[in-house]
Amino acid sequence: MSQQVQEKYEESHLYRIRHSAAHVMAQAVVEMFPEAKYTIGPPVENGFYYDFDLPRNLTPEDLEAIEKRMRQIVQGKHEFRKTVVSANEAKKIFADQPYKLELIEGLETGGFDEYGNPLEEKPEISIYQHDTFVDLCRGPHVENTREIKPDAFKLMSVAGAYWRGDENNKQLQRIYGTAWENKKQLEEYLHQLEEAKKRDHRKLGRELEIFIFEEEVGPGLPLWLPNGGVMIEELEKLAKEMEEAAGYDRVRTPNLTKEDLFIRSGHLPYYAESMYPPMELEGVKYYVKPMNCPMHHKIFGSKLRSYRDLPIRLAEYGTCYRYEKSGELFGLMRVRSMQMNDAHIYCSEDQFEQEFMGVIDLYHKYFELFGIEKYVMRLSLHARAGLGKKYVDNERLWLKTEDMVRRAMDNGGVPYVEREDEAAFYGPKIDVQIWSAIGREFSLATNQVDFAVPERFDLKFTNKDGHDEVPLCIHRAPLSTHERLVGFLLEHYAGNFPVWLSPEQVRVIPITDGQNEYAENIARQLRASGIRARADVSSQRMNAKIRDAQMMKVPYMLVVGDKEMQAGLVSLRVRDGSQQKDIPLAEFIARAKDRIAKRAKEL
């Protein structure tokens, strides 16, 4: 959640409901366990949680009892009353609560707030009380517990959580809950969760044999199985076709480079924590690359350039490596090894708008192809306070390039929202948020303007007046990485990929062993026609073979028995449940090839 979205959320009534529900839950827990030590209980994106130090591990039955008691409490219409107190008064109130006392010490010195976040100035210390429960809290809350509807919240799970997120501290029990403004919203959210479980890309990735992770290989380093390899080939083929049509040249760069390159580009000071540590050989430090751009800059600068050569578009599906903290890794969505749909466009200022909007046009083509109906273009800007620290220190160029992006988007009639303090260190960017078929939000692509780094590499071209000029550089990745895109597509399609993207497009199923040779021959003809197919000549019964193909979400099943073999025909079963009996193989091949060639959504 971006800072501005978070700020808007914190001002909402829903935020107050969830914050208040966390306090009600804490009351119920403390009533059940009088010796409980309670810590913090903030609202989060879809609910709330509270961390407790308890005498025993909670059970599902405990959650039911806590939830039941919460429903009794909220119907009591207890007012949430705020009182500002001194540090000494607060210490007396929470004398038997060591975690609260630690927080009070932080508030007293002005160092940290009640959630352990550093503060710029010393805050007031306040408590909130409802019914018999008192908590150290800055709020905000609803006026009374009746605003928390008894049929609009639910406790979801219990997990371990270290105090203040530090594994050197004691592990607590974190109870997660969700709360909404009414019963309908809760039911919709729970339904979405159920759909999300079915579509979880980690679960589907295993079941459909797309990818795996192995501890011996390392966390966040996916291994692509043959089916995943097919998907990657298809996505890269798609990108190559699109980019070739748009005038891109493909390049390749090594996975390893000297430290000096990242010092010159400016990446090392900004991204050292996200890079793997260097390896040293013969007194020289080398890094595995976290991005391709510095090497693309070297390729651009490898010879003299004229304005007549521009724009130059260099594309690469290069593998990059970034260190993500272990706790932040998540399936294919957050990994340490990634294959990026990367490209860099070098252009003059008067070419910028056309080139920038050419990338935006690519986004829209991909949205149409994948059936992405909801998306948001977000213009990420710098913040003046971050100049020289988080951002290149040149306010004039920041304002100029941000205005160039605004003008391009406005002239192109493309809606966008603005977000401050989310730019790249070298320039503004358009970040693309997309929503899957079940309404889950994903960060997919980026389109970045770089006004700073080309000059650091002495990149230049001869302009029409015969003078040297520094090009603008556009960094773009419309298809993100193979990893993130495949993770999104697994959820978006629930594994039911369109035929062009399906790892296995046709399964030929003989009814008995007597048709095995015929089935194998059909599979060979399909493969010769460019269709991914295999025959299931295992010893299983026909219904089991059909079930296996359905479990693997194969788009087309061709069932053949003696009748089909004697007539040279096939009977088609489509993944969507439709069937067509006794059709010529050539007719089916024509249909499948048409769907594949068009990258059609329908089967």
User: Do 76 and 218 belong to one domain?
Assistant: no
CA neighbours closer than 13 Å in the CB half-sphere of residue 590: 5
Could you tell me the CATH number of the domain that includes residue 21? 3.30.980.10
Residue 558 lies in a domain: yes
Q: For the chain, what is the domain count?
A: 3
Residue 200 lies in a domain: no
Last residue of a domain, one of 182, 217, 232: 182
26 beta partners: none
User: Do 32 and 110 belong to one domain?
Assistant: yes
User: Do 546 and 512 belong to one domain?
Assistant: yes
In this structure, which amino acid lies at residue 107? L
CB atoms within 10 A of CB 206: 14
pLDDT tens by residue, 300-331: 999 999 999 999 999 998 899 999 888 788 99
| Residue 122 token pair | 């010393």
Question: What integer pLDDT is reported at residue 574 of this predicted model?
Answer: 96
Buried-exposed string 82-98: b where 16+ CB fall within 10 A, e elsewhere: eeebeeeebbebbeebe
Q: Domain of 373? A: 207-253+295-493
Residue 498 lies in a domain: no
Question: What integer pLDDT is reported at residue 45 of this predicted model?
Answer: 87
Q: How far is CA 91 from CA 42, 101, 126, 250, 448, in A?
A: 21, 6, 12, 65, 51
User: How far is residue 509's CA from residue 538's CA, in Å, rounded to a whole number?
Assistant: 9
Which residues have a Cβ under 8 Å from the Cβ of 486 and sit 6 or more positions away? 201, 205, 210, 211, 228, 231, 232, 235, 332
Could you tell me the CATH number of the domain that includes residue 340? 3.30.930.10
User: Do 430 and 578 belong to one domain?
Assistant: no
Q: How far is CA 227 from CA 212, 315, 487, in A?
A: 11, 25, 14
User: How far is residue 361's CA from residue 279's CA, in Å, rounded to a whole number?
Assistant: 41
Residue 244 lies in a domain: yes
Last residue of a domain, one of 468, 493, 518: 493
H helices of 87-182, where?
Answer: 87-93, 98-109
Q: Sheet holding 256-258: strands in order across?
A: 256-258, 284-288, 279-281
Residue 366 lies in a domain: yes
Q: Of all helices (H) and strands (E), which one includes residue 48?
A: strand 47-53
User: How far is residue 230's CA from residue 245's CA, in Å, rounded to a whole number?
Assistant: 23
User: How far is residue 313's CA from residue 343's CA, in Å, rounded to a whole number?
Assistant: 7
Residue 573 lies in a domain: yes
- In this structure, which long-range contacts are made by residues 296-300, counting pairs with CB atoms below 8 Å and at least 24 apart in sequence? 296/251, 296/253, 296/344, 297/265, 297/344, 297/453, 297/454, 297/457, 297/459, 297/473, 298/261, 298/457, 299/251, 299/253, 300/344, 300/346, 300/459, 300/471
pLDDT tens by residue, 562-584: 999 999 999 999 999 999 999 99
User: Do 424 and 314 belong to one domain?
Assistant: yes
According to DSSP, residue 246 is labeled T
User: Do 176 and 314 belong to one domain?
Assistant: no
User: Do 388 and 532 belong to one domain?
Assistant: no
3-class secondary structure per residue, 371-407: CCCCEEEEEECCCHHHECCCECCCHHHHHHHHHHHHH
Question: What integer pLDDT is reported at residue 114 of this predicted model?
Answer: 55
Could you tell me the CATH number of the domain that includes residue 588? 3.40.50.800
User: How far is residue 105's CA from residue 386's CA, in Å, rounded to a whole number?
Assistant: 30
Return the SS3 of 457.
coil
Q: Which residue has the tokens 């406005």?
A: 410
CB atoms within 10 A of CB 568: 11
CA 275 to chain centre: 20
Backbone region of residue 443 per phi and psi (left: phi > 0; alpha: psi in -120 to 50; beta: other values) = beta
β pairing state of 556-560 and 506-510: parallel
380 beta partners: 419, 429
User: Do 146 and 34 belong to one domain?
Assistant: yes
Question: What integer pLDDT is reported at residue 4 of this predicted model?
Answer: 57
Degrees to nearest 5, angle at CA 334 with 330 and 340: 145
In this structure, which amino acid lies at residue 557? M
The list of the chain residues with pLDDT below 50 reads none
User: Do 416 and 334 belong to one domain?
Assistant: yes
Residue 288 lies in a domain: no
User: Do 217 and 126 belong to one domain?
Assistant: no
Q: What are phi and psi of 143, to 5 degrees?
A: -70, -40
Q: Which residue has the tokens 């997660």?
A: 176
User: Do 487 and 345 belong to one domain?
Assistant: yes
User: Do 352 and 469 belong to one domain?
Assistant: yes
Residue 474 lies in a domain: yes
